[in-house]
Amino acid sequence: MTITEKISLRLQDQSGLRRRTDTIRTWALPILIVLVFVLASAFVPEFFKFETIRSILLLTSITGIVAVGMTAITLSGNLFSLGVTASAVFSGVIYIWVGQGTGNMFIAAAVAIVAAVVIGLIQGFIVGLGLNTVIVTLAAGSIIYGLTAILTKGEVVQAQGVSLEGFGTFQIFGIPLPIYIFVIFTAVAWFLTEHTLIGRNVHLLGSNKNTARSSGISPMGTTIWAFTAFSLSIGIAAVLQASQMHQIQADNLPGLTMDVVAAVLVGGTAVTGGDGSPIKSAIGALFIATITQVMVLMSIPEGQRYFVLGVVVVALVVVLHLLRKAGTR
Amino acid sequence: MNVDAPSRLRATGITKSYGAVNALADVNFELKPGEVMALLGENGAGKSTIVKVISGLIIPDTGQITVDGEPVSLTSVRASQAAGIAVVQQEFSTVGTMSVAENLVLGQSGAPAWWSPKKLNDQAKSILARVGLEDLDPRRSVDTLSVAEMQLLEIARVLAKDAKIIIFDEPTAALSDAEIVRVLAAVKRLAAEGRSVIYVTHRLGEVFEIADRVTIFRNGRSEAPQNVKDLTVDRVVELMIGRELGHLYPERSEKFGAAVLEAKGLKVPGIKGEINLTVRRGEILGLTGQLGSGASEIMKAISGTADVLSGEVLLDGEAVDLRGRRRGIIMGIAYCSPDRKKDGIFAGISVRRNLSSPWLRRVSRVGFVSRAQENSEATRSASNFAIDLSRLNTLVGNLSGGNQQKVAVGKWLGIRPRVLLVEEPTRGVDIGARAEIYAQLRLLCDSGVGVIVASSDTNEILGLSDTVATYYRGTQTANKPVQEWTESDLVREVMHRED
């Protein structure tokens, strides 16, 4: 065998390895979810029922919508927003107040979503100036939480005399509206990231900021777009959440931020940016909801549930990271 | 230096290859006690690779190294240090906020956990004196030192380790002439103490000043060492570049049309005086100079990457606004930076999407990318640059250096460039891909695109350009047709002006 033959053979081997690791990375989570479903159906009583599956999907929908939106920020190389909870609760309060005032849930939803987007735009602008996303969004989250607590005086905000629960409870073929919205939102997000200039630029910016700049892509503009997509998802999720609960309070949704971050990470979007997909994050959210629901049915106490979930998330993220490294060596 | 002395260090049959590229092909190297051995060679000739092998950073594929006749296994930096080898880095490894004396003991094995400040400073003073820094207060913070003083301190740190073999990797690259004198004096003093010095440099003048012998590297191979006193500058240049230009470079067109790009009275930070340059249709303009010569700053200014203080740039006779890359791209100015990994490619993105990245806006309607148009244009760019079409979906980071460079240049075809600026077009690129890149640059030039190439590889500049401008420490020193240059003239122009 000549040297060139040997080299080309080795190169083929490596590209084969890459393809294999890519395949594993793409399919690991869906297969794991199927596995959990099969095992839970066999061993957990009450699991394999329409109501259980519906409640898993309902549980997924709110986290999932925000995780899909968050993917835009992560893909753009801007890590995560850590102010999810505060922004979502604030938008939820706006929804109920405007709904109470106007009596029209559509107007209320529109105002709540616009409020979320405005808050997101401001943060996107500051991050676009070059500040660290984690610091900006933590600070913003704290400000928004404080504002919500002051405005509501820390009390429960409740809709009285008007019906605002339509978005949360309306059903088509026995399946609640939030699940449809989640699926449609994910599909649209996927289409936009793959087929629009902005979506593609978000990807490129996250892959290499310097090359993006030298290729004429504006880091500021692209970052603001990513935050816009993210805050749109916050607004939608907030409306769905407030509709379901019909009330909201400043310290609601304490685990949402971390659930969303976990969904994005478990889904397999790279923290470093440039590699990932909103669909992956949606599947990540589904996985977390499934595991949680299984543990609830098995009557595992809350503390232990968090513990197990944490261990599973860390293990998956480590494995995905190692696979990515093996694939791009 | 004792000519008949046994070798201090001997490396025999060293090879190192990366994929298809032989960085070192059967290199032999020898160093005697108390001698200064200069390593010379063009970029990529192998001199920095052999230095990394000796300092334990790279493990060679084959070959043997002995120190004082004993075989040694230099598998790590620590092993290399244990064998008595120390490296004076090009980048400074001193800690700015600590004092000079503290930096000298830092990382020194065998130093006690605590020295009284007096003892520390006295120790430091005696070491500093040996590098010509006797006047320096060892209590001063390293932050306050000049670049030359830091370089000398870097040498002093190596002295504190008491090494037998000291490697200098272009220690004077960032220094002014007066400062260079101090460093060279320190090197001479080390050799006089009986230590052996390996001195890597691009500056021919220094070689004749301090080296006893020279080993010249070319294409990963080493020449037998030669005594400096038997050599002339011309002979050294001949040995360094002694490879045929052959058919690596494409044919020139000889006839030039109207000016495509003119720079008039351009003032740029880091450049002394005003720069005037013209590129005509059918002409490749080559800018050359060593690191820090200013050629790169001019390219960055014209591309809109760096600031322009004054002056103007005309494209087809019309003045253009040079602020920002985005405007430059719209005007049709393509720019490939010298460091493709840093800002030339998206390593984690496919070849196809790398190729389309600068002109995605052009193939979009109301924000939606036309996949069909993107694919057909990306495919055309790829086939023009001899990029394997079956690898359009491969991540660029998984390609060889040569193919990555083809992507970094090829992506600009789609903006329909009027001017293409390329810095170091073939750095870290194998010979086959080089020929393809040169051919494509010439083809673009013939099709009416103004091409400016900046390179520190004089051979490349001579083979590729029609007109050559030279730069030395921020000054444009010459600008004339390639026919009026000989290779040794050009090498001397960019390297040897201190004589």
- Taking residues B153-174, report their average pLDDT: 80
* Residues on chain A touching B335 (C-beta within 8 angstroms): 214
CB-closest option in A4, A204, A216 to B346: A204
Report CA dihedral (B255, B257, B263, B265) to the nearest 10 degrees: 90
In this structure, are residues A269 and A74 in contact, taking their beta carbons and an 8 Å threshold? Answer: yes
pTM of the predicted protein model: 0.74
Q: pLDDT tens digits for B415-468?
A: 889 999 999 888 767 666 777 888 889 989 988 899 999 988 787 888 899 999
- Are domains B9-241 and B259-495 of this chain identical in fold? yes
Burial of A315 from C-beta contacts in 10 A (0-12 / 13-18 / 19+): exposed
Kindly list the domain boundaries of chain A, sorted by start residue.
49-328
Where would I find the beta strands (DSSP E) of B340-440?
364-365, 368-369, 419-423
B395–A204: do the CB atoms touch at under 8 Å? Answer: no
In this structure, are residues A227 and A120 in contact, taking their beta carbons and an 8 Å threshold? Answer: yes
How many angstroms separate the CA of residue B348 from the nearest CA in chain A?
6
> Phi and psi (nearest 5°) for A157?
-95, 125
> How far is the C-alpha of A209 from the C-alpha of B389, rounded, in Å?
27
Is domain A49-328 given the CATH code 2.60.40 in the classification? no
> How far is the C-alpha of B461 from the C-alpha of B287, rounded, in Å?
7
Per-residue confidence (pLDDT) for residue A227, from 0 to 100: 95
Read off the amino acid at residue A282. A
Per-residue confidence (pLDDT) for residue A249, from 0 to 100: 85
pLDDT category, B5, cuts 50, 70, 90? low
Q: pLDDT tens digits for A3-19?
A: 444 444 444 444 556 66
Per-residue confidence (pLDDT) for residue B171, from 0 to 100: 77
Per-residue confidence (pLDDT) for residue A105, from 0 to 100: 87
Nearest chain B alpha carbon to A272: B348
> How far is the C-alpha of B186 from the C-alpha of B159, rounded, in Å?
11
Residue B362 has pLDDT above 50, yes or no: yes
How many angstroms separate the CA of residue B60 from the nearest CA in chain A?
18
Per-residue confidence (pLDDT) for residue A328, from 0 to 100: 56
Q: pLDDT tens digits for B169-182?
A: 877 766 666 677 77
> How far is the C-alpha of A128 from the C-alpha of A113, rounded, in Å?
22
Residue B104 has pLDDT above 90, yes or no: no
- A2 in contact with B, Cβ within 8 Å: no
How many angstroms separate the CA of residue B219 from the nearest CA in chain A?
18
A195–B19: do the CB atoms touch at under 8 Å? Answer: no
CATH superfamily of B9-241: P-loop containing nucleotide triphosphate hydrolases (3.40.50.300)
How many angstroms separate the CA of residue B469 from the nearest CA in chain A?
25
- A321 in contact with B, Cβ within 8 Å: no
A215–B398: do the CB atoms touch at under 8 Å? Answer: no
- Taking residues B31-53, report their average pLDDT: 83
- A247 in contact with B, Cβ within 8 Å: no
CATH superfamily of B259-495: P-loop containing nucleotide triphosphate hydrolases (3.40.50.300)
Kindly list the domain boundaries of chain B, sorted by start residue.
9-241, 259-495
Q: Which of A270, A325, A323 has the alpha carbon at shortest distance from A73?
A: A270
Among all chains, which residue has been given the structure tokens 């003239």?
Answer: B489
In this structure, are residues A88 and A117 in contact, taking their beta carbons and an 8 Å threshold? Answer: no
B397–A328: do the CB atoms touch at under 8 Å? Answer: yes
DSSP-based three-state secondary structure for B13: strand
Q: Which of B332, B294, B319 has the alpha carbon at shortest distance from B310?
A: B319
pLDDT category, A196, cuts 50, 70, 90? very high
Q: Which of B87, B92, B109, B100 has the alpha carbon at shortest distance from B129?
A: B100
A152: tokens are 């509501």
* Residues on chain B touching A276 (C-beta within 8 angstroms): none
Burial of A121 from C-beta contacts in 10 A (0-12 / 13-18 / 19+): middle
Q: How many Cβ atoms sit within 10 Å of the Cβ of residue A299?
A: 6
B394–A203: do the CB atoms touch at under 8 Å? Answer: no
Residue B98 has pLDDT above 90, yes or no: no
What single DSSP character describes residue B99?
B
Read off the amino acid at residue B360. L
Q: Residues of A numbered 14-43 whose beta carbons fall under 8 angstroms of chain B's beta carbons: which are they?
A: 14-15, 18
Nearest chain B alpha carbon to A203: B349
* Residues on chain B touching A211 (C-beta within 8 angstroms): 342-346, 357
A197–B342: do the CB atoms touch at under 8 Å? Answer: no
In this structure, are residues A99 and A108 in contact, taking their beta carbons and an 8 Å threshold? Answer: yes
Give chain B's contact residues with A (Cβ, < 8 Å).
19-20, 305, 325-326, 328-330, 335, 337, 342-349, 353, 357-358, 360-361, 364, 367-369, 371, 394-395, 397-398, 411
Per-residue confidence (pLDDT) for residue A240, from 0 to 100: 92
In whole numbers, what is the pLDDT of chain A averaged over residues? 86
A16: tokens are 């084969």
